[in-house]
Amino acid sequence: MSDVPAAPYSASLPFLLSQVGARTAQEFADRLAPLGVSPRAFGVLSNLTTAAAGRTQQQLADALGMHRNNMVGLIDEMEEAGWVRRRRSAQDRRAFEIDLTPAGTALLEQVAEMLPPLEGEIARDLTADERRVFVGLLRRVAATLELHPGIHPHLGARPRSTCATPEDS
């Protein structure tokens, strides 16, 4: 038994984290939209760092928890936008390695510039010390849940409709 009294659903940690996370995700997506990048594409781009240079498309999909077919389509879109390039792997001619282009790097820099104002809006009622404590606590919770830093758990999820349309019938 827990010593923590049961909270009503609306005041529970799972609900509040979900509510804040959903709102924050929407705010982030809204800010990415004018740049022409989806949160999902940004998630892939942000994981194409120097340390990940030379990763094959399959290695990247595995690291991010994405199905390879979803990764192929996403890389197609990002390549068409000029943010990444594919090249044949020197180790395995059947595989493609994915690299950021200068345009992809510039896009990541633009997003990095918009993060502090977004964080400022989200945490505007917290002091600098409260923010540091809050971020530290969230990191501990993420570690407890065995979440991988820099990889959003929804990145690998297939986009799905939440309601049936007449065409689905």
Tell me phi and psi for residue 96, to 5 degrees: -110, 135
User: Could you tell me the pTM of the whole model?
Assistant: 0.78
Question: For residue 154, what are the CA distances in angstroms to 1, 13, 60, 167?
Answer: 32, 19, 15, 26
User: Thinking of the domain 17-158, which architecture would CATH place it in?
Assistant: Orthogonal Bundle (1.10)
pLDDT at 162: 31
DSSP letters, 58-76, are: HHHHHHHT--HHHHHHHHH
Q: Which two tokens stand for residue 116?
A: 């502090």
Average pLDDT, the chain: 85
CA end-to-end distance (rounded Å), the chain = 47
Distance CA 23, CA 147 (A): 20
Distance CA 75, CA 88 (A): 14
Distance CA 113, CA 26 (A): 18
- 160: pLDDT confidence band, cut at 50, 70 and 90? very low
Query: Looking at the DSSP assignment, which residues form a beta bridge with residue 85?
Result: 99
Q: What share of the chain is helix, strand, coil (3-state, %, to 5)?
A: 60, 5, 35
pLDDT at 152: 79
- Report the DSSP pairing between strands 96-100 and 84-88: antiparallel
Quick one: DSSP state of residue 34? G
Quickly count helices (H) and strands (E) in the chain: 6, 2
36-55, pLDDT tens digit by residue? 999 989 988 988 875 566 78
Structural domain boundaries of the chain? Answer: 17-158
Q: Does position 112 have pLDDT exceeding 70, yes or no? A: yes
